Structure 1
């Protein structure tokens, strides 16, 4: 039954994408982040659903007139440079054939990011993109949060099998990045019960992140929580939420969790932490001796045999910075950091350019919360290897789209009706919308 529901949704959305290709972007985003098919047990589990989403989106893209140039700002320039450099790094890397699968996986994400930049341009598009990107994680986080509460945090919470966030640590960081975006959506809701429900989902996502038993996630929660309180328009609500986490959630966690978190201060005695440091030192040496780095992965026995300090065991970088450094060299790391620094600055600019525009208040909220998410990503990512995960790139798209919308006074030509009406999912008989001109 679950397989049929998932496939039916994909087929329906893919057909809609032929006329409204922006819906195909939403379908791709849902499948790429949430991986709903990985929660089925039948034919949908390995079905090429993402290929269906991409194919229908591209077919609609070629026929629609409702598209723009994807090159819309400085963050996109950094993104183009990163795409080119990663490809050069792969071609000049240690194992071109062995790294092809990873390069192909990353390039699919990057390609669809460019497609999103071309097809999305109005407020409906941007809000839909935020809703799909965020709720794809929030639903999993709510499920994991309930599991953590019911089990008292005794068992780890994991992400969808076979995805970028399958690992408990990666899943936790993804949820932490989603929390500020959930708060952004909460600020846009008018219904009190809907806002309260969003608060519950946010707390459950934090509970799930704690339930991952990830030390990097704990540091990210602390950093994200502090900046979230500072950036929020509802500091009273945020204060209550933070107090709930500190006074209710943390005491709920078992002694095993506290023992693991305690190793943050005694990393010299923790073999896992020392192994990570060894992996970081290897990444530095690989970058020193290879302009383009090791390729799509520097986790090769040769490198660890040559450059390992504490041992020669091959280990993941457990850091977005050292993973990029080892994979793509110092130039690659410079471009990667430049991308996120530029995105952060542009997100801050959203708050300034929308400050005195009533129709663009949502843009300021979005910029502030994306900055909070990026802080969580920057801190948590220092200890976790997920440099190619979709959500940060989606946030870059959101920032660029919102920036262009304000500068072009998008509210003056915004399509009428609600988002559901615009998508063709709801028809108001009293005030029908004009036919779509997207194709």
Structure 2
């Protein structure tokens, strides 16, 4: 008589099927994970605690130039340049101790001897506080490093060229200044002799007719204009090479000195000069004297047709600078032509009416710019003009 077999428990069968499905899914996930690891586009390695290779994907093997079977069990450091061994050891130590992601640059040695610049991203994988392995992602930055080095070399080359160019410009400027200075010095003697000769000739002619004397007077006036131009140019050149330094300057003292030196002109005319309370500023005494002396001389020149010339010095204070203007009631100018005033040889009036060389205001502009200052003018035809200087409260000398 046969023994009856026990019937399977339906619950056990269902549970068994679930377990089998889970195992199948797990195997499938493991297979997918293995495939993703193997075929990942980035070079990927798994290292043990000593830094030996436990696994490597296809991209990693390709970068190292060796088959996967050859790489397994090898210390990753033996595929680096000797100079990079210390960097790898430090990364491994930091990652194992701190458990954070660490990054560093090393040089990788390919099997054919090619050296790659690579970036290592290293993570220590832990479970329940226990170290498992290192996960290492390698990024080839050879092209980036080469481009960066090329840019640095280009930048250094351009900087050297710029320095050489700047040096050459300074040398040419110095040479030009020397030529102009020597040229002016050499012109002084013959022009002085010419003036003496013209004066002697005019006196020798005595009461000669105007037809005889007028050409001599015209020639003498032309020579005087050349001498005035030379003096203005010489003043401009001195300003360019002037050694300046910052100190506190009382502008009241500067204007007193200017008025004192202008007394011969003031004595011959009816001139009223007034002023607002002038500040004490940081600057250079010579430079400030040059600027305001030129402004006052300019005002005296363009008010010579007035029975009573009025000149007033204005002061406006702002947060970062002073605006100081020299106002006159002279011939003025058309504001549409104001940009010509501070240009070299920029004249708005004929030299037959108002003497001048067109260099003085250029000297003013250049002097102000050396300290970070600005100059401009305002005026109306036959209603006077005001020439302004904006002077910073904290000037910086600019060579």
What is the TM-score of this pair, normalised by structure 2? Answer: 0.18
Which protein is richer in helix relative to its size?
1
Structure showing greater Rg: 2
What is the TM-score of this pair, normalised by structure 1? Answer: 0.17
Between the two structures, name the one with larger relative contact order (CA 8 Å, sep ≥ 6). 1
Which protein is richer in strand relative to its size?
2
